[in-house]
Structure 1
Amino acid sequence: MTTFVLIPGAAADSRYWRPTADELGARGHDVVTPDLPCDDDSATLDDYADTVIKAVGVRTDVIVVAHSFGGFTAPLVCERVPVRRLVLLAGMVPAPGEPPGTWWTSTGWEAARREQDERDGRAPDDETALFFHDVPPHLAAEARRNVRDQSATPFADPWPLAKWPSTPTAFLLCRDDRFLPATFLRRVVRERLGIVPDEIDGGHNVALSRPQALADRLTAYLTDY
């Protein structure tokens, strides 16, 4: 049985994954949704990876899926336990030695976001339009209630890996993402991973807006080798 390990982004926990986890479970897969210590100011990225590895336990045949800021944690997991495939979902792609807090500037994200805001006609402080424009209102309301505090600690230290792990890696970007725009991510993925990303309709929180379609795409990676 394949185990999908679903790593959340910043200020989020396992509740974010519930609709997608239910879809994967209905397809007969094991699903692990660890809660990272994001509100603990003493916790580093290594501690985040420890949390995931502890949740995986002795499971084998593991696919790791990392959303957004989870992209900084997932490769650390892949360096320490056998992982069949790593899937970055609208993920931040770190570079060796890069502190996560500098990622925004080093990738050119600020300019890309400004351009996307102008295309969308979105006010800079309208986070609902940024993150939940295509999410059913009841799920968006629940997600906003479930937001956790996010410590700045893991954003400060250099990313510890000297190179990307040998784990086969795929990137699934969201075509309607307003936070990490698709045009921006296509460039970042090409420059940093040297691959062409796969694409799915939906915004940044596609695990909430299109869980069935996302589960279909994730299970397709079982045979895409």
Structure 2
Amino acid sequence: MSDTPTVVLVHGAFADAASFARVVPLLLDDGIAVRVPAVPNRSLSGDAAYIASVVRQIDGPVLLVGHSYGGAVITVAGAEANVAGLVYLAGYALDEGESLGELQGRFPDSPLAQALVYTQFPVEGSDEPGTDVSVDVEKLPEIFAADVEPELARVLAVSQRPLAGAAFGEPASTAAWKTKPAWGIVSSSDRTINPDVERFGYERAGMTVTEIDSSHLVMLSHPQEVADVIRTALASVVQA
């Protein structure tokens, strides 16, 4: 088994693996092993199970990095035995038995709440459709990616990976930050998640916290700072 941690980057809602495109080269240039799986964005339990399956098949320790909804996913998937640490990027650090809706509901809504779009999708084996949640294409650049180049933001707006609405109400089955070291980045100019939601979750978990004056897509607008936090976390788990 390898002793060198692999960094697994977990994207969130309304984005995909390409949202890490500016961080990945920085890590690879340092000789760090990286994986960026595509999250189904269908349910918290299902998405966490999928990421957990990816983690189990990696030889050696893993540092899980979750952005936004991906933070909720790593909170559950991080219970895998070879997960050495967790890094949250403008993410949800849920407690066991807590849902996204419950955590978010304790704080004033962000501008995202008035920009959500609901569409239906077929559910295999059911006559009832599911509900997908995405962001109004015209509003996404301002709400989701205000400090990302306009040319890129408009591409992101029309290439969203929606999140099934059921995921918002599903409780986390475990909270890996209770047993694993964790680091968190607060996007202090976030208009997608209220930054106080991020701060609360991180402080509750006793994380090492970094604040960056950034939109929600901190890894695209501040890739070097994000890579620095990941490097710090890696150095810590290697020494442990």
Fold-level similarity (TM above 0.5): yes
Cα separation, 1, equivalents of 2:21 and 2:173: 30
Aligned-pair CA distance for 1:183: 4.7
Aligned-pair CA distance for 1:62: 1.3
Counterparts in 2 of 1:66 and 1:163: CA distance versus 1, 3 Å: closer
Cα separation, 2, equivalents of 1:102 and 1:193: 17
Counterparts in 2 of 1:5 and 1:156: CA distance versus 1, 3 Å: same
Q: Which amino acid aligns with 1:185?
A: E
Is contact 2:52-2:78 (8 Å) kept? no
Is contact 2:181-2:207 (8 Å) kept? no
SS in 1 for 2:22: helix
**Greater strand share, 1 or 2?**
2
Cα separation, 1, equivalents of 2:47 and 2:79: 14
Cα separation, 2, equivalents of 1:99 and 1:93: 10
Residue aligning to 2:23: 20
Counterparts in 2 of 1:101 and 1:52: CA distance versus 1, 3 Å: same
1:10 aligns with 2:13: yes
Cα separation, 1, equivalents of 2:88 and 2:192: 15
1:206 aligns with 2:218: yes
Residue aligning to 1:158: 171
Residue aligning to 2:180: 167
**Greater helix share, 1 or 2?**
1
Counterparts in 2 of 1:151 and 1:140: CA distance versus 1, 3 Å: same
What does the per-residue CA deviation read over 1:104-127, in whole Å, with 9 as the maximum and x for residues that have no partner?
Answer: 21x2142xx37xxxxxxxxxx843
Counterparts in 2 of 1:127 and 1:146: CA distance versus 1, 3 Å: closer
Residue aligning to 2:37: 34
Q: Which amino acid aligns with 1:44?
A: S
What does the per-residue CA deviation read over 1:187-221, in whole Å, with 9 as the maximum and x for residues that have no partner?
Answer: 4432x324452223322101111222321221122
Cα separation, 2, equivalents of 1:19 and 1:134: 14
Cα separation, 2, equivalents of 1:179 and 1:155: 14
Structure 1: 4+ residue segments shifted above 3 A: 162-165, 181-185
Aligned-pair CA distance for 1:163: 7.3
Unaligned runs of 5+ in 2: 112-137
Which aligned pairs between 1:84-95 and structure 2 lie closer than 5 A? 84-95=84-95
Aligned-pair CA distance for 1:147: 0.3
Counterparts in 2 of 1:166 and 1:189: CA distance versus 1, 3 Å: same
Aligned-pair CA distance for 1:164: 4.4
Q: Which amino acid aligns with 2:14?
A: A
1:185 aligns with 2:198: yes
Aligned-pair CA distance for 1:181: 4.0
RMSD across aligned positions (CA): 2.5
What does the per-residue CA deviation read over 1:26-45, in whole Å, with 9 as the maximum and x for residues that have no partner?
Answer: 2211111111112xxxx432
Residue aligning to 1:120: none
Percent same amino acid at aligned positions? 29
Is contact 1:44-1:153 (8 Å) kept? yes
Q: How many residues align?
A: 208
Counterparts in 2 of 1:2 and 1:102: CA distance versus 1, 3 Å: same
Which aligned pairs between 1:94-133 and structure 2 lie closer than 5 A? 94-105=94-105, 107-110=106-109, 113=110, 126-133=139-146
Is contact 1:139-1:208 (8 Å) kept? no
Counterparts in 2 of 1:162 and 1:174: CA distance versus 1, 3 Å: closer
TM-score, length basis structure 2: 0.76
Cα separation, 2, equivalents of 1:156 and 1:175: 25
Unaligned runs of 5+ in 1: 115-124
